[in-house]
C-alpha cells in the first residue's frame, strides 16, 4: 500500500495550480462567464500546449504522459479549487476515457488532437425522462447502409456550445430502458440535422439542449462496448466530479474559516462562538472524508464492474451529502454576505450544489450501492 504521489504527479499539481492561480482569479472567472461565449479559449490552448496538461492520463504511444485515474483526479481537484469552467471532464476524462477503453484506430485518430487541444468533446447522455439511469435512452441510432441515422433529444449537455465533437448515447435496438442496444457514438458536433439551444447554467458553465433530426453519421462513429462501456466511463466521470468536489469543498471550508476569524460581531470574531466552531469542525470532517472517498473510488476504477460500481456509489453518496452540508453551512456562517454574487463563496456553493446531483444524487447512489452490495449479494 502506498498513498504517496509520484514526482510527476506532484509536478502536474504544482504546475497546474500555479497556472490556475494566475489565470483563474475570481474576477477573471466572472469576466469569462459573462462574456459572449462564456469562456476564454486561450486557457484551454495554454493547458494543452504550454502546460501539456491534457496529455496527463493518456498513453505514451499517443503522446501522453502515461498517467490515468490518479492524474485525472488531481487535475479535477485543482480545477475545483478555482471553479474552472474548462471542458476537461467532458473532453479528457469522459471522451478520452472512452477512446482509451476502445483503443484501436479510433483512439489513434482522435487522442492526439485531444492532447493538442484541437478536439473538445461534450457528453450527450441525459434525456428529459431519464434521470440518472444510463439505459433510459430514447434517442435512436438506426443502421443505414454503412452508417447510422440519429434521432432524439439530449438535455443539459454541459460544454456543448464549445465542443467540436459530441459523445452520444443512443439506441440501436432494444426497448426503452433496456440495457441491451444502448451504444456510444463519437460524432462531429456540426453535422447537418444537429440543432442546439445553448444557455448558461446556474454554476457558471454553458450547456445545450441538443436535438438530432435525421443526422447521418458514419459507421466508425460507434465506440464498441455498449452499456458496460458507458457505465464504466460514467463511473470514471463520477469520481472525477468527486475530485472536483474536494477542491470546491476545501475552498468553501477555507473561505469560511478566514471569514469567521475576521468578521467581528458582539466585540469579537464570530469564530469565537462555539456553535460556529463546531460547525466548522464538522465541515472540516466532511472535506476530509470526501478526499478519502475520492481516493478510495479512484483506486477502484479498474476493478471488476460490481466492485467498481459499489466503490463509486459509496464515494458519490458521501460526497453529495458532504457538498450539501459544507455548502449550506459556508453560506450560513457568512450571514448576508454569503448569499450575494460579490464573494466567491456563493459561487462555490452553487457549483457544490450542482455537483450534488451530477451523475446521480446521493439517493441514486445509495440505491445503486444497496442493489449491488446488499440485494445481489444475498
Partner 1 sequence: MDMEFSAEDIAFRDEVRAFIADNHPDMSAKKELGEEMSKEDFLSWHRILHAKGWVAPAWPKEYGGTGWTATQRYIWSEETARADCIRLMPFGLSMVGPVIYAFGTPEQKAHFLPRILSGEDWWCQGYSEPGSGSDLASLRTTAVRDGDDYIVNGQKTWTTMAQHADWGFFLVRTDKDAKQQEGISFLLIDMKSPGVTVRPIITLGGEHEVNEVWLENVRVPVSNRVYEENKGWTCAKFLLAHERTGIAGVASSKRGIERIKDIAKSEQDGDKPLISNAFFKRKIAELQIDLTALEFTELRSLAGEAAGKGPGPESSLLKIKGSEIQQRITELALEAVGHYGAPYFRGFGEGDNEHPIGPDYAHRAAPTYFNTRKTTIYGGSNEIQRNIIAKMVLGL
Q: Which residues bind partner 1 (CB under 8 A)?
A: 126, 128-133, 136, 155-156, 158, 177, 195, 197-203, 205, 207, 209, 211, 264-267, 273, 275-276, 328, 331-332, 335-336, 338-342, 346, 349-350, 353-354, 357, 361, 363, 366-367
DSSP string, 110-141: HHHHHHTT---EEEE---TTTTT-TT----EE
**Residue 346 burial (CB < 10 Å; 0-12/13-18/19+)?**
middle
The H or E element spanning position 74 is helix 69-81
The C-alpha cell at 25 is 482569479
* 262 touches, from partner 1, ligand FAD, none (C-beta below 5 to 8 Å by class): none
**Among positions 17, 155, 164, 273, the unique one binding ligand FAD when judged by CB under 6 A:** 273
Residues 6+ apart with CB under 8 A from 35: none
Check residue 276 for interaction with ligand FAD (CB under 6 A). Answer: yes
* 240 touches, from ligand FAD, partner 1, none (C-beta below 5 to 8 Å by class): none
Q: Which stretch binds ligand FAD (CB under 6 A): 1-9, 242-250, 270-278, 358-366?
A: 270-278
3-class DSSP assignment, residue 123: strand
Q: Which stretch binds ligand FAD (CB under 6 A): 27-35, 186-194, 268-276, 314-322?
A: 268-276
Residue facing ligand FAD at closest CB distance? 335
What is the end-to-end Cα distance of the chain in Å, rounded? 30
| Closer Cβ to partner 1, 291 or 351, answer by number | 351
| Closer Cβ to ligand FAD, 241 or 271, answer by number | 271
Check residue 173 for interaction with ligand FAD (CB under 6 A). Answer: no
Separation between Cα atoms, residue 234 and residue 196, nearest integer Å:
23
Instruction: Provide, rounded to whole angstroms, the least separation between the CB of residue 320 and partner 1.
Output: 10
Going from the C-alpha of 87 to that of each of 83, 114, 189, 192, 294, the distances in angstroms are 12, 11, 15, 24, 20
Number of residues that bind ligand FAD (CB under 6 A): 12
| Closer Cβ to ligand FAD, 146 or 275, answer by number | 275
What is the 8-class DSSP label of residue 146?
T
Asked if 247 and 79 count as a contact pair (C-beta separation under 8 A), the reply is: yes
Instruction: Provide, rounded to whole angstroms, the least separation between the CB of residue 220 and partner 1.
Output: 29
Instruction: Provide, rounded to whole angstroms, the least separation between the CB of residue 167 and partner 1.
Output: 16
3-class DSSP assignment, residue 23: helix
Contact string (CB under 6 A) for ligand FAD, positions 322-351, x = contact: ----------xx-xx--x------------
Residues 248-267 interacting with ligand FAD (rule: CB under 6 A): 263, 265-266
Asked if 367 and 373 count as a contact pair (C-beta separation under 8 A), the reply is: no
* 220 touches, from ligand FAD, partner 1, none (C-beta below 5 to 8 Å by class): none
What is the 8-class DSSP label of residue 6?
P
Separation between Cα atoms, residue 335 and residue 12, nearest integer Å:
37
The C-alpha cell at 66 is 502515461
CA 239 centroid distance within chain: 8
* 129 touches, from partner 1, ligand FAD, none (C-beta below 5 to 8 Å by class): partner 1
* 211 touches, from ligand FAD, partner 1, none (C-beta below 5 to 8 Å by class): partner 1
Q: Which stretch binds ligand FAD (CB under 6 A): 117-125, 224-232, 273-281, 368-376?
A: 273-281
Please give the torsion angle defined by the CA atoms of residues 173, 178, 184 and 188, in that order, rounded to the nearest 10 degrees.
70
| Closer Cβ to partner 1, 145 or 175, answer by number | 175
Picking from 156, 150, 155, the residue whose alpha carbon sits closest to that of residue 172 is 150
Instruction: Give the residues lining the site for ligand FAD (CB under 6 A).
Output: 263, 265-266, 270, 273, 275-276, 332-333, 335-336, 339
Amino acid at each position: 500500500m502506498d498513498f504517496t504521489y509520484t514526482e510527476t504527479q506532484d509536478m502536474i499539481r504544482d504546475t497546474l495550480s500555479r497556472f490556475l492561480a494566475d489565470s483563474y482569479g475570481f474576477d477573471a472567472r466572472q469576466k469569462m462567464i459573462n462574456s459572449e461565449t462564456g469562456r476564454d479559449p486561450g486557457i484551454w490552448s495554454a493547458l494543452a500546449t504550454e502546460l501539456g496538461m491534457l496529455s496527463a492520463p493518456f498513453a505514451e504511444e499517443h503522446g501522453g504522459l502515461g498517467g490515468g485515474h490518479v492524474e485525472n483526479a488531481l487535475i479535477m481537484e485543482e480545477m475545483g479549487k478555482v471553479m474552472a469552467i474548462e471542458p476537461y471532464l467532458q473532453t479528457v476524462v469522459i471522451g478520452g476515457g472512452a477512446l482509451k477503453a476502445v483503443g484501436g484506430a479510433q483512439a489513434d485518430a482522435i487522442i492526439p488532437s485531444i492532447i493538442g487541444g484541437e478536439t473538445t468533446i461534450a457528453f450527450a447522455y441525459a434525456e428529459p425522462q431519464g434521470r440518472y439511469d444510463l439505459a433510459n435512452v430514447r434517442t435512436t441510432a438506426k443502421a443505414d447502409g454503412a452508417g447510422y441515422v440519429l434521432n432524439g433529444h439530449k438535455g443539459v449537455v454541459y460544454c456543448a456550445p464549445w465542443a467540436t465533437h459530441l459523445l452520444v448515447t443512443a439506441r440501436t435496438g432494444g426497448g426503452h430502458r433496456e440495457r441491451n442496444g444502448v451504444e456510444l457514438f463519437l460524432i462531429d458536433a456540426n453535422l447537418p440535422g444537429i440543432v442546439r439551444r445553448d444557455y448558461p447554467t446556474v454554476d457558471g458553465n454553458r450547456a445545450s439542449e441538443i436535438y438530432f433530426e435525421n443526422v447521418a453519421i458514419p459507421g466508425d462513429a460507434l465506440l464498441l462496448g455498449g452499456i458496460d462501456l458507458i457505465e464504466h466511463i460514467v463511473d470514471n466521470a463520477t469520481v472525477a466530479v468527486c475530485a472536483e468536489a474536494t477542491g470546491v469543498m476545501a475552498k468553501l471550508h477555507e473561505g469560511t474559516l478566514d471569514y469567521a476569524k475576521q468578521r467581528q460581531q458582539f466585540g469579537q470574531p464570530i469564530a469565537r462562538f462555539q456553535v460556529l466552531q463546531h460547525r466548522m469542525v464538522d465541515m472540516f470532517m466532511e472535506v476530509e472524508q470526501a478526499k478519502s472517498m475520492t481516493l478510495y473510488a479512484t483506486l477502484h476504477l479498474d476493478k471488476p464492474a460490481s466492485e467498481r460500481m459499489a466503490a463509486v456509489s459509496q464515494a458519490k453518496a458521501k460526497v453529495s451529502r458532504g457538498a450539501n452540508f459544507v455548502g449550506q453551512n459556508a453560506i450560513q456562517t457568512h450571514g448576508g454576505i454569503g448569499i450575494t454574487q460579490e464573494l466567491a463563496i456563493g459561487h462555490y456553493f452553487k457549483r457544490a450544489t450542482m455537483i450534488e446531483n451530477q451523475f446521480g444524487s446521493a439517493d441514486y447512489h445509495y440505491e445503486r450501492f444497496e442493489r449491488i452490495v446488499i440485494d445481489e449479494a444475498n
